[in-house]
Each structure stands twice: as C-alpha cells, then as structure tokens.
Amino acid sequence: MYSNLAANIRHLQHLSFTNMSIFNKEVKIEALSRLGDYLLSEDEALHNAIILAKNKNAWFTEDQVKNAVIATGRLLNKENLLEWTSNYSFGSRKKIGLTLAGNIPLVGFHDILAVLVSDNIALIKLSTSDDILIPLILNKLIEFEPSFKEQIKLIDKLNGFDAVIATGSNNTSRYFEYYFSKVPHIIRKNRNSVAVLNGKETTEELKALGRDILDYFGLGCRNVSKLYVPKGYDFTLFFEAIEEYHPIINHHKYNNNYDYNKSIFLVNKVEHLDNGFLLVAKNEALSSPLSVIFYEEYENLKAVKELLESKKEDIQVLVSSCLTDSALATTFFGNSQQPNLWDYADGVNTLKFLSSLN
C-alpha cells in the first residue's frame, strides 16, 4: 500500500514538474511577445531611452537606434519564439556570463534572449557603448513577468559563472580564450560579410545592397565590406542605385573616416571610385575601412564559391541572388542586418550550446 502511494506521489511530482516546465516556457514566451509589442510601440520611456542612447554614443543616430529596436521587436512574436525553441530541452539552471559588444545598438540582446528562454541566469556585462537601452528593455520584461528577475544580473565583472559567451575583437578574443578556457564557452572574433554580384542585379536589389553596406555606418559584422563582381564590372548602376544614401556623409564621424581614407588613397595613388560618400577600391582583403568598400573581380561563380568557402571562418554572411547554394550563411540583398532568431552569430547555435550544459 505504502509503496503504491509513494509511487503515485512520485508520479504526481513528475507531472507537476513537467507541467510547470511547460507552463514556465509558455509564460516566458508570452512575456517576450508582449516585450516585442512594446518595442514596436510609441512608448515615451522607450523614446527617451533611444534619445539617451543616441546622445551617449556618437555612432548611434536616432533613426538607426529606432531601426534596431523595431527589428528586435519584430523578432519577438509567439510564432518565432516557439519555432526557435521547439527542438531544445533544458535542465538545471546555469550561470552564463555574457560579455556584450556595443558596435551597433542592441547587438548583444540575442545572447541575453537565448539565456533567458533556456531558463538560465544571465550575468550581463554591458558594453559602455550600449548600456542605455538594454537595461530599460530588461526592466520592462521583468514588469511583464516578474520571474525573469531571478535570471537577470547586470554586473561590472564576470565571476561565478558556469559558462561564458563573449564577443570582442581578434585581440580581445585571445584574452577571452585564455581567461575562460576552463569553462564551456563561445568566443566570437571579428568577421565580415560579403556580397557576390553577377551584373544582372536590378536597381532595387542594388539599392537594398546599399543598406547592407551602410546601415549602422558599416560598423556591424553583418555589414557587407567586400564585393565580388564579374570581370569588367561597371559600377555606374550601383552608384546610381545607392545615391539616396548620400546624407550619410553629413554624419561627422563617418565624414571624418571618408575624408581620411580618401586622402590616403590620393596620397598613395590608389586607384578608386568615389561617389561623394563611399569609396570603392580593388583589394583582396575582406575587411575594409569605414566609408570604403573593397571589391575583387572573378571570371566564374564556381571559383568564387570555392574561394569564399575557404574563408568561411572569417565571413559572417554572404549576400547574393546568384550564389545561393553556398555552405555559408546566405541571404538576399537588404537582409544582412535583419537576422532571424535562428541566424546565429559565427554560425554557432547558441541554444544548442546552452542545452549541452545539462
């Protein structure tokens, strides 16, 4: 009798735990969906935070911060969140140290989101370049669902973590690799994005490519910094298509980079094209300076595909309508800065990593 009763109790406890896990996931997704709606709203506090973020970081314009907020809001809907998390299960809570980048607005929010939906604790070291919006957004999330408070810790120094996700430059990544070597980790380094053209692109496609290059002034790893074009490619149509982005030159920091790089090209007699706000120069490097886009000519797409796949560790995204069967993460023109929840930085599946910690 007693053994049967104990078995029933264990069974009920198991059911309770299972139901609670399902319920918690549903509650989290509901709160995150409400957060998405909030980010798409005209809330005054959110607007004020956007202005504060713009005032603190000279690279953050009001329009571009708004774009980042809206893009994040559009991701946070129930359908996306359910699809993103459907194939993963998570066990006991772990403390995940997060060192966030601040090169573009909200660039580190996806890592925070992954930790929260996996029911882990986020130890968040914000970038001083982007420390206005994220606290506001997290406070709003806690307002929607108070249980998130247990999972969110804003810290000045990482310690007491079970695993780490850190983003930095190639130089800082070496420090991260050494310092976090004894715990499970994801360490992200510098990457660049590239576009492959075949000369048949429409004006609209080339205009969209302008966004891939110039959104956030080209500061993101998903910004295109290198073009691969057919031999003898005429850049006239490209320049005509992106002319509407000319006002970018009025931003003083971008303009300083443009003037500096143009001077270097002229002094060193480097052949280049110039439309008044973007410099185009032939160069084999993947990474170009701000206000500059490098290009390389090719004779057949197969060779380009093989070349890019040999450089896959340095490439974040490939933008193209003519080379869509590459092993690289590939998107169409205008979408490089519009990733889905399952478009992971450096191709490393964050949710899979977090689920492996159990």
Look up the CATH number of the domain holding residue 120: 3.40.605.10
Tokens 């956030």 sit on residue: 216
Same domain, 309 and 215: yes
CA–CA–CA angle 203, 208, 209 (5° rounding): 95
Same domain, 155 and 210: no
Reading the chain (358 residues) residue by residue, the pLDDT tens digits are 333 333 332 333 333 333 334 448 889 999 999 999 999 999 999 999 999 999 999 999 999 999 999 999 999 999 999 999 998 888 789 999 999 999 999 999 999 999 999 999 999 999 999 999 999 999 999 999 999 999 999 999 999 999 999 988 878 878 888 889 899 999 998 899 999 999 999 999 999 999 999 999 999 999 999 999 999 999 999 999 999 999 999 999 999 999 999 999 999 999 999 999 999 999 999 999 999 999 999 999 999 999 999 999 999 999 999 988 888 889 999 999 999 999 999 999 999 999 999 7
Same domain, 181 and 135: yes
Q: Which long-range contacts (CB under 8 A, 24 or more apart) does 296-302 make?
A: 296/226, 296/227, 296/228, 296/229, 297/228, 297/229, 297/230, 297/231, 297/232, 297/233, 298/228, 298/229, 298/230, 298/231, 299/230, 299/231, 301/196, 301/198
Closest C-alpha to 104, from 63, 137, 163, 150: 63
Q: Is residue 342 part of a domain?
A: no
Same domain, 186 and 197: no
The dihedral through the CA atoms of 214, 195, 281, 287 has a sign that is: positive
AA identity, residue 282:
K
Q: Final residue of a domain: which of 190, 208, 242?
A: 190
Residues 6+ apart with CB under 8 A from 201: 209, 237, 321, 333
Same domain, 66 and 127: yes
Same domain, 20 and 75: yes
Same domain, 31 and 161: yes
Same domain, 229 and 270: yes
- Classified as helix, coil or strand, 46 is helix
In angstroms, the first-to-last Cα distance of the chain is 36
Q: Is residue 226 part of a domain?
A: yes
Closest C-alpha to 24, from 89, 79, 72: 89
Q: Is residue 309 part of a domain?
A: yes
Tokens of 249: 């030159």
Q: Is residue 344 part of a domain?
A: no
The domain tally of the chain equals: 2
Tokens 């060193």 sit on residue: 268
Range of the domain at 14: 2-190
| Domain at 228, CATH number | 3.40.309.10
